[in-house]
Amino acid sequence: MEPVKLGVIGCGVIGSVNLKDAMASELVQVVAAADLRVSRREWATAQGVPRVYEDGRDLLDQDPEVEAVLIAFPAGTRTAMGLHALARGKHVLTEKPVANNAREVQTLMDRRGDRVVACLSCRFRFFESAVKAREVVNSGVLGDLRRLHVRALLAAGPKNNNVPPPWRESFCLNAGGILTNWSCYDLDYILGTAGWTFRPKTVLAQTWPCVPAFRCHVAPESDAEAWYSAFVLDESGMVLTLERGEFLPQRTEMAWQISGTEGALHLGMLNNDDRKLVLNVGETDKGVTETVIWEGKDTEPGGNRLVIEDFALAIREHRPPATGMEQALTMMQITDAIYESARTGRAVDI
């Protein structure tokens, strides 16, 4: 297939990773990049990017060779750039969180026309273990799904001299805190592995700022959460339980689970050396049996590159991407409702 000619807008920490992964793929050709900082533009030039711009809007307005853009700067103003790209006829791949709220996602949907608009929040669903997990769910061995569960609580490290990024826990710069910064991955992974069958109805949640002892790990002006817990009920009675926190005064706990009437699948979203997929099956005569159905370390090239390649294939094959705006809208509706429930102290209907 003819490579998709890609422009990368934002060459910071994650943008630089995306740019390198795109350049390593045969399915895309990076023809332009943009970043407000001189140092990052110089870096992009050194990587072999032919044309570099200061403003992403200049890239969109002045570079007709660009077919699609990957937008990789904090979410506060990302939607405006995505809409500008759509107005210029470009396909859009956006970093996570996809937008500031569900209303912005709906606007992207309304204006995409025949362009592909996708989100990088699905990067963990492209690993071998995730593909295997999806096969298990598809097989029906779990029975009717009852509960989706995410628990990811990270212990704080000692104080260091690193300057915390101001966007990490900021409603203004990144649409929120740990919920938007990391749980977009949790939601994409667990909902995608379950086949996007979850239809959220009611949310009850609470959020908390960074605990006092570890405020050194977040910027002084941070106004968003470092820890949240949520209960989400879907239209059929299925339940999604979500909890994630960082810089916590406790040991690290990590678990992703999908449970049904016949069994349960224990998952591991993050790439590590001892990842296992464990299947429990319940039978009247045997009780509960346990089988390790996959273990090992997921192989390269890794999620970033595979999402970019899926985006390129979606453009050329005229098909939906792995995580498009319909899926992003579901995740953002849940996110919005979690914040509203935490703010009001009440259950919120979606």
In sign, the C-alpha dihedral spanning 230, 226, 156, 214 is negative
Q: What is the mean pLDDT of residues 220-234?
A: 96
pLDDT (tens digit, 9 = 90+) per residue, 251-285? Answer: 999 999 999 999 999 998 876 666 889 999 999 99
Q: Are 324 and 117 in contact (CB under 8 A)?
A: yes
CB under 8 Å to 82, separation ≥6 — which residues? 71, 92, 94, 99, 108, 117
What are the C-alpha distances in Å from 76 to residues 91, 122, 335? 20, 20, 15
pLDDT of residue 271: 63
pLDDT (tens digit, 9 = 90+) per residue, 89-148? Answer: 999 999 999 999 999 999 999 999 999 999 999 999 998 899 999 999 999 999 999 999
pLDDT (tens digit, 9 = 90+) per residue, 292-323? Answer: 999 888 876 667 899 999 999 999 999 999 99
pLDDT of residue 301: 61
Domains annotated for the chain, with CATH where assigned, are 4-120+303-322 (3.40.50.720), 124-299+332-349 (3.30.360.10)
- Single pTM value for the model: 0.94
